[in-house]
Amino acid sequence: MRVLVTRPREDAQEVARELETRGHAVVTEPLLDIVPIAGAVVEVDGAQGILVTSANGIRALAQSCPDRALPVWAVGDASARAARDLGYARVESAGGDVETLAALVAARCDPAAGPFLHAAGSVTAGDLSGRLSGSGFAVRRLVLYEARTAEAVSPTLAAALAAGEIDLALFFSPRTAATFATLVARAELSGHAGRIRAYALSPAVAEALAALPWAAVRVAAAPTQAAMLAAIDEDCGPRGRPA
């Protein structure tokens, strides 16, 4: 199978490797460009921990602040791995989404121990601060990067879509899914989605894909990369052949 991965460049590398080990050919089309906020100031004094809802957040925080002492509470395994790779020693993964992260923190932490720092971008999915404030926690959101959407599909992807060379397409966020749908329609390539099976990380991502006439849209059983890959394995076999 030829698989389209639409994640930002750094995030796409890991999933591309996983797909290639399964025998798939990968086409990478980053639809979001991650740009750090210049001059971002991070004050860690008094905080009890760091909340991470994307690998981009912890990467941006690591660039802005050399301190690695605070524990990191990550939304999923990919962001947890990114934190460990950057030198954070105490890392917990919620293995899910904003809801599971909020539940994990509420179950394991004490609001009286201090506020949390949320390493975030200018646009975030879900209301992590709202969920935790309901349990008495204070959250300071740090806007450390901006995710800028692409303005057009690349000539390479446009040609591949027109030639019917994409079999599967992976989408990990509602914003990326909506951007893809908009840009494909703008390029007058919407009809070519009809032979592609789309894989969505969550129902919200699938909803953002609804504007295109996909052959099928499958939602991962859990909002994780592992669940996305498991769905592909079920449909295509672990070595990229139809199951």
State pLDDT tens for residues 84-123.
999 999 999 998 889 999 999 999 999 999 999 999 988 7
pTM metric for this prediction = 0.80
Task: Give dist(CA 238, CA 21) in Å, integer.
Answer: 9
Q: Dihedral of CA 42/70/87/133: which sign?
A: negative
Which residue, of 116, 148, 180, is where some domain finishes?
148
- E strands of the chain, at which residues? 2-5, 25-28, 32-36, 49-52, 72-74, 91-93, 116-121, 139-149, 168-171, 197-200, 216-219
142 and 160 in a single domain? The answer is no
Which residue, of 129, 148, 167, is where some domain finishes?
148
132 and 38 in a single domain? The answer is yes
73 and 140 in a single domain? The answer is yes
90 and 183 in a single domain? The answer is no
**Confidence check: pLDDT of 178 > 50:** yes
Measured in Å, how far apart are the chain's first and last C-alpha atoms? 12
76 and 27 in a single domain? The answer is no
Give Cβ neighbours of residue 13 (< 8 Å, ≥ 6 apart): none
* pLDDT tens-digit readout, 70-88: 999 999 888 999 999 999 9
52 and 24 in a single domain? The answer is no
22 and 95 in a single domain? The answer is no
Residue 243 lies in a domain: no
Would you state the pLDDT for residue 239? Answer: 57
Q: What is the CATH number of the domain that holds 167?
A: 3.40.50.10090
Task: Give dist(CA 151, CA 144) in Å, integer.
Answer: 22
Q: Where are the alpha helices (DSSP H) in 86-237?
A: 98-108, 128-133, 155-162, 174-186, 203-208, 225-236
